[in-house]
Amino acid sequence: MLTIAGLIFAIPILIAALICGFLLKKPHAAARLATAGMFSCFLMALALAPQILDLQHKHALPVETSVIWIGLKGLTIEFGILLDGLSYLMLLVVTGIGTLIFLYSMTYMHGDESYSRFFASLSLFAFSMLGIVFSNNLIQTFIFWELVGLSSYLLIGFWYQKPEASLAGKKAFLTTRVGDVGMMFGILLLWGHLAAQNSGTFNFMALKAHPGLTAIPALSMTLIGLGLFMGAVGKSAQVPLHVWLPDAMEGPTPVSALIHAATMVAAGVFLLARIFFLLELSPTTLHIIAWTGTVTSLLAALIAVVQSDIKKILAYSTLSQLGYMVMAIGRGHVEAGMFHLTTHAFFKALLFLGAGSFIHALHTQSIWDMGAYGQKKFLALFKKMPVTSLTFIAGTLALMGIPPTSGFFSKEEILTAAQSGPQLMFICAATVVFLTAFYMGRLSGAIFLPGTIHTLQHEDPHELHEPHEPDWRMLLPLAVLGVLALIGGFLPIRDLLPEAHGHQDGGSFLLILSLSLAGAGFLLGILLFRNHDESRVSTGFMAVPRILLERKFFFDDAYDWLIQNVQERVASFCDLFEKIVVVEIGANGIARLARGAGSTARKLQTGVVQFYALVFTAGLGLLIYLFVSGRLG
Amino acid sequence: MIAFLPWIPLAAALVVLFSSAKNERFLKTITLTACSLCSVSVFIYFLNFKPEGGFQFVTARPWLPAFGIQYKSGFDGINLTLCLLHALVSLAGAFVACAPKERLKEYLFYYLILTGGIYGVFTSLDLFFLYVFFEMTLIPLFPMIGIWGSKNKEYGAMKLTLFITTGAVLAFFGLLLFYREAGIHSFDLVQLAQVLKARGGFSIGFQHFVAPMLIVGFGVIASLWPVHSWSPIGYAAAPTAVSMLHAGVLKKMGPYLILRVAVTFLPEGVKHAAPWLSVLAGIGIVYAGLAAIRQSDMKYMVGFSSVSHMGYVLLGIAAMNSVSLSGTVLLMFSHGVMAACAFAAIGFLYEHTHVRNLHDFGGLAKSMPFVALSLILACLASLGLPGFSNFVSELLVFIGAWRQFPAVVIAAVFGVLITAIYLLRAVREVCYGKPNPRWAHLKDAQGFAERFPFILLLGALLIAGIWPHVLLRVIEPAVGALLS
């Protein structure tokens, strides 16, 4: 079983290497190879299912294997594969959704001059992500944590000639690295405490059973938890490190679907689930985690309401849903967070791919421009692109948590987790249900229902073309994900996850509350925006908060201010200090000497080589003499 | 055989000196042959080296017996690793040095002397010859920078030479005191170690007095803050091959000698000085990183970056345990290879464009994919991306130093973030964005001679990064022997 896992792990990186080595000039072969490779990974992962479920029932999981990567005295770092329900679930998500998105990209990216590079980068991403999934220790997780950051950087900046794209890639790398710095502190602090007891380890299973954990002082334990959590804050784009994710939408849409919705951004949630045994040792840490998730889900949902770029709306929606997962884990409901991670991967990948299909057909990302097509006829877009439209609506329903879609089941669990927390947290979570439905209603109203008032913001010759459905390679993933989004709740996902802590059913109260909130939000969204009138609502009841929302709660402005006024000023100070104090004042005497000797040197340079050789020999002789006499003296 | 290592390039230098300057093909062949020969021999030594075997391949030949001076050379895991670094960088540098230029003959002559001198430093086990070879490396630097350099070249050349010489003189006094105190009329490092061990080492007072002297003296070469200012200026002025050898290899002589002399013979003194050494290292990491953010000249930026990275090396030394010192030695290797690669890429761009300002480039990933990719990979290695050995070594330094100097390690980890800020900005300005029409005519690196240096250096970084055991297996026992 572990051999197969190792094979799954190895295939993507081999493919990336093959493409870089041989297939850069053969784009179609590269695309086919990468997609076939991913599909074979998924099939192998599926083939493991009976064994995994069997072992799970016998409580014989996890199984692990490893080699020693660095073995020094007093420090062992392994490189290994750890398989349990958690990593297996994540493995299926990554390879399954990965396969669909690879297939989708074959059409979506068709004709791009760097078609091969795209698939090489995607394969590199798949490898890095599997490294996190399989990891059996903190250092390996950190290594692949950075590598997914790299692949994300490469893919966001895929169209590197676009200044926005390369800026967004850089921003993503740096912002997530701030989180990684925290994660490194967490790892070092944990290591330091355990090494002081002469039993330092990074291995998850060894840590879980480590008797020395309880001896770590409470404050340190909190700091360790918070440090590790910072890694998740960066990757899973939680407040205040969330600012990179919306910008990351500059990347190609399949990338947004795979990396910035379904898998990589969920890695933070996965990490929290993996190290939950460490986090739960400090109630303070859990408390902070839960509130970070709550705040993120609320702020992001609010911002989503005023966006008009379809990918940005979905990006903020992703932030908000990730906040849900983090909140659930902070409340101790790991299984709820992971369950929502899985269903979210289905429906959010679906929504992004659907959005990609619309963008592909209509050549615009603005929901108002998309809706403008519908001016001609009632439900015109729907008729022209039935598969995309239907699956998009399926995804919307799942995101809103309408029964019996997959999102309904996981969202109920999330709300149950929120209900067990402070009242304010539950109110926030419930508000997010309303807001989610509202912005999705607004989105659907804008693109599907006929509008009369809106006029095109920019004329584009493409828009004269009739939109049409893409070919099967884009439609098949939509269809598969559409089915999963609808029935995913009935899959045996929860069998793979740890038992819920004292699971109690939310009962009819939660069901009625969330349904009515979602219904109200959706209807309100549709009714307010079906005529594509941006201005009506904005000048109306949301005039004041609108500034706050459109400036995205001023996070970006605050960071820009910090960079301009703190980072650059401190750097300038160092630069000036170097120029004035270190060089001019500190080395002033030497510099003056240098000017004198420099003019002498100019004369020397006109000489011939033999002269240099003479100087060289003389110098050497002098040196030997000095040394010997120095010894005698 | 190892005794010949420095003499192969020196002999080749003589051949170059007495050949006709017109026959460039012959000159290049001689240079490349000598450098390849050395590199291949070092590699063979590396393969035959037994990790637990202490000093190996030792040859000794009396030279001035009256003063206990002998020509002795040999390898332990530390100088073997550094020789391997030099083997890689000097070979890559030889290809770069052979690129067309004025007065090629003289250039290659100096280059070979420099190469031979560095081999001499890293193979000598006798302090006297070690010092002689060290001085020998200083001699060619001055004319090389002065003649083929750019931008304030005389100032840069003088500054670099003066600083390093001053540091060397300070260390020289330390060594003399050390020689006198040992009182066994020997410069033989191995013998000194044995005798001192039997004697129980130097007195504490002596160690406390001499160790700081050696640390500062050798620290100048390692660009220890605040005596680092020669480094960015000197590298900016130096021609490509010199920047590669200097930032890549010569600079590692500072920490190497600290390890070889101060840590080995004056461990109590180093421990005593360690807290302030760690603070200086930490300041250097953050300060030079911040200063690098403000540079728009790429060579200055990489120069400050190397000051910042040498801080990690010195931090590892300050912590003085097997994990941190293994990290330090591996970092010396990794940073050397990375810096050589970065300077080679920048040098290639400068040769073709005669500009080095970040804002003058743009979109090179399109027009020069190979060089752009090499530059990007070198930057990624430098900012500590896993997969390159720089990450492994920095990680080992962090883990090793964490328990002694947590505050400095925190600063150092932030330093990694700062590195990412300026390097990613540089990559974006130079390689990404709209292609600058000024450079539309530029040709990418073509053919074996232009591409090989990058492939060699990046390949080494990746191999050591993915499977660090290949180097750590020889480093750790040697480091353990130093500490015992």
Say yes or no to pLDDT of B174 above 90: no
- Evaluate whether B32 touches B95 at the Cβ level (below 8 Å): yes
Rounded CA separation B337/B345 (Å): 12
Of residues B291, B410, B433, nearest to A578 (C-beta): B291
Picking from B290, B295, B421, the nearest residue to A174 by CB comes out as: B421
Residues of A in contact with B139 (CB under 8 A): 615-616, 619
Instruction: Tell if the CB–CB gap between B67 and A70 is shorter than 8 Å.
Output: no
As a whole number, mean pLDDT of residues A327-348 equals: 93
Predicted pLDDT at A578: 81
Locate the chain B residue with the closest alpha carbon to A143.
B386
pLDDT at A606: 43
**Does residue A451 register a pLDDT over 70?**
no
pLDDT tens profile A163-193: 889 899 999 999 999 999 999 999 999 999 9
Confidence of residue A299 (pLDDT cuts 50, 70, 90): very high
B155 to A595: CB separation less than 8 angstroms, yes or no: yes
Return the minimum-mean-pLDDT range out of A463-472, B6-15, B355-364.
A463-472
DSSP for B315-367? HHHHH-SHHHHHHHHHHHHHHHHHHHHHHHHHHHHHHHHS--BGGG---HHHH
Of B146, B323, B396, the CB nearest to A601: B146
Instruction: Indicate the residue of A143, A166, A616 with minimum beta-carbon distance to B139.
Output: A616
For residue B106, pLDDT beyond 90 = no
Instruction: Supply the pLDDT for residue A454.
Output: 47
Contact between A575 and B417 using a beta-carbon 8 Å cutoff: no
Angstroms from A207 CA to nearest CA on chain B: 17
Whether the CB of B106 is below 8 Å from some CB of chain A: the reply is: yes
- Contact residues, chain B, for A627 at CB < 8 Å: 128, 131-132
In terms of Cα–Cα distance, which of B195, B184, B190 is closest to B74? B190
Tell me, what's the pLDDT at B422?
92
Predicted confidence at residue A633, as pLDDT, reads: 38
pLDDT of A154 reads 92
Subunit contact A619:B135, Cβ cutoff 8 A: yes
Contact assignment for A166 to B432 by CB distance below 8 Å: yes
Give mean pLDDT, residues A441-455: 71
Using a 10 angstrom Cβ sphere, with 0-12 exposed, 13-18 middle and 19 or more buried, the burial of residue A173 is buried
**Rounded CA gap, A573 and A579, in Å?**
10
Could you tell me which residue, A356 or B441, shows the higher pLDDT?
A356
Between the CA of residue B107 and those of A540, B99, B113, what are the distances in Å? 76, 11, 10
pLDDT bucket at A607, cuts 50 / 70 / 90:
very low
pLDDT of residue A447: 82
CB atoms within 10 A of CB A58: 8
Q: Cβ of A456 under 8 Å from any chain B Cβ?
A: no
- Which has more pLDDT, A454 or A277? A277
The pLDDT of residue A127 is 95
Of all residues in chain A, the one with the smallest CA distance to B69 is A628
Inter-chain CB proximity B159 and A597 less than 8 Å: no
**Alpha carbon distance A587, B184 (integer Å):** 39
Preferred mutation among B18, B109, B158, B172 to probe A, highest tally of A CBs within 10 A: B158
Q: Report the range of poorest mean pLDDT among A421-425, A569-573, B110-114.
A: A569-573
Kindly list the residues from chain A whose CB atom is less than 8 angstroms away from the CB atom of residue B109.
609
Comparing CA positions, the residue from A33, A43, A103 lying closest to residue A257 is A103
pLDDT at position B434 = 84
Judge: A605–B158 Cβ closer than 8 Å, yes or no.
no
Is the minimum CB–CB distance between B53 and chain A shorter than 8 Å?
Answer: no
pLDDT band at A79 (very low <50, low <70, confident <90, very high): very high
CB contact under 8 A, A572 and B416: no
Q: Name the A residues in 117-176 with CB < 8 Å from any B CB.
A: 139, 142-144, 146-147, 150, 157, 160-161, 163, 166-167, 170, 173-174
Mean pLDDT (whole number) for A600-619: 50
How far apart are the CA of B473 and the nearest CA of chain A, in angstroms?
9
Q: What is the band of A602 on the pLDDT scale with cuts at 50, 70, 90?
A: low
Contacts of B287 in chain A (CB under 8 A): 574, 577
Is the predicted pLDDT of residue A609 greater than 50, yes or no? no
* Cα angle, residue B408 at apex, residues B405 and B412 outer, rounded to 5°: 130
d(CA A125, CA A152): 7
Do B305 and B235 meet the contact criterion of CB atoms below 8 Å apart?
no
Average pLDDT rounded to a whole number, residues A477-506? 79
State yes or no: pLDDT of B334 exceeds 70: yes
Does the pLDDT at position A632 exceed 80?
A: no
User: Which residues have C-beta within 8 Å of that of residue A87, sequence separation ≥ 6?
Assistant: A62, A133, A134
Cβ atoms < 10 Å from Cβ of A524: 17
The reply to whether A529 touches chain B by the CB within 8 Å rule is no
Distance from CA of B64 to the nearest CA of A (A): 10
pLDDT for the residue numbered A604 = 47
Nearest chain A residue (CA) to B420: A174
Q: How many CA atoms lie within 13 A of B192 on its CB side?
A: 26
> B133 near B149, Cβ under 8 Å?
no
What's the pLDDT at A378?
58
Q: Could you give the C-alpha distances from A331 to A318, A321, A436, B81, B151, in angstroms and in order?
A: 20, 15, 21, 51, 61
Q: Which of A160, A167, A631 sits opposite B365 (nearest CB)?
A: A160
- Burial class from Cβ neighbours inside 10 Å (0-12, 13-18, 19+) for residue A3 reads exposed
Chain A: closest CA distance from residue B176 (Å): 7
Average pLDDT value over all residues in chain B: 88
Please tell me if residue A561 touches chain B, with a CB cutoff of 8 Å.
Answer: no
> Which segment, A410-419, B19-28, B198-207, is predicted with the most confidence on average?
A410-419
Please tell me the number of Cα atoms within 13 Å of A406 on its side-chain side: 28
Question: In this predicted complex, what is the ipTM?
Answer: 0.92
What is the model's pLDDT at position B410? 94
Buried/exposed A465-498: b ≥16 CB within 10 Å, e otherwise: eebebbeebbbebbbbbbebbbebbebebbebbe
CB neighbourhood size of B14 (10 A): 14
Whether A571 sits inside 8 A of B290 (CB atoms) is yes
Provide the chain A residues 328-387 that lie in CB contact (below 8 A) with chain B: none
**Contact of B209 with B269, CB cutoff 8 Å:** yes
Q: Minimal Cα–Cα distance from A602 to chain B, Å?
A: 8
Q: Is A190 helix (H, G, I), strand (E, B) or coil?
A: helix
For every residue of A413-462, DSSP letters joined together read: HHHHHHHTS-HHHHHHHHHHHHHHHHHHHHHHHHHHS--SS---SS--GG
**Which residue of chain B is at minimal alpha-carbon distance from A144?**
B386
B352: pLDDT strictly greater than 70: yes
Q: How many CB pairs under 8 A join A and B?
A: 183
pLDDT at A375: 58
What's A287-343 look like in SS3?
Answer: HHHHHHHHHHHHHHHHHHCCCCEHHHHHHHHHHHHHHHHHHHHHCCCHHHHHHHHHH
Q: Is it the case that residue A570 has pLDDT exceeding 80? A: yes
For A:404-423, CB contacts with B below 8 A are: none
* Residue B300 touches partner A, C-beta closer than 8 Å: no
- Whether A614 has a pLDDT exceeding 60, the answer reads no
pLDDT of residue A461: 47
| Chain B residues with CB-CB distance to A186 below 8 A | none
Put simply, the answer to whether A181 touches B64 (Cβ < 8 Å) is no
Q: Letter for the amino acid at A377?
A: K
- B432 and A161 within 8 Å at the Cβ level: the answer is yes
Does the distance separating the beta carbons of B366 and A174 come in below 8 Å? no
User: Would you state the structure tokens that stand for residue A302, as one six-digit string?
Assistant: 């609010």
Give B402's contacts in chain A (Cβ within 8 Å).
188, 191-192
Instruction: Give per-residue pLDDT as tens, A113-156.
Output: 888 999 999 999 999 999 999 999 999 999 999 999 999 999 99
Interface test with A, best of B287, B380, B405 (most A CBs within 10 A): B287
Asked if B382 and B423 touch (Cβ cutoff 8 Å), the reply is yes
Between B81 and A514, where is the model more confident? B81
Of A320-324, A335-339, A579-583, B264-268, least confident by mean pLDDT is A579-583
Cα gap A575→A581, rounded to integer Å? 10
Judged by CB atoms within 8 Å, which residues 411-470 of B form the interface with A? 413-414, 416-417, 420-421, 424-425, 428, 431-435, 468-469
**Averaged confidence pLDDT in chain A:** 84
Q: What is the pLDDT of residue B386?
A: 93
Q: What is the pLDDT of residues B276-291, one digit of tens each?
A: 999 999 999 999 999 9
Higher-pLDDT residue of A527 and A537 is A527
Contact A147 B399 (CB under 8 A): no
Find the residue in B nearest to A616 (Cα): B139
Higher-pLDDT residue of A105, B182: A105
More reliable by pLDDT, A311 or A552: A311
Residue among B17, B146, B413 whose CB faces A181 most closely: B413
Q: Which of residues 19 through 48 in chain B touch A, CB cutoff 8 A?
A: none
Nearest chain B residue to A178, by CA: B417
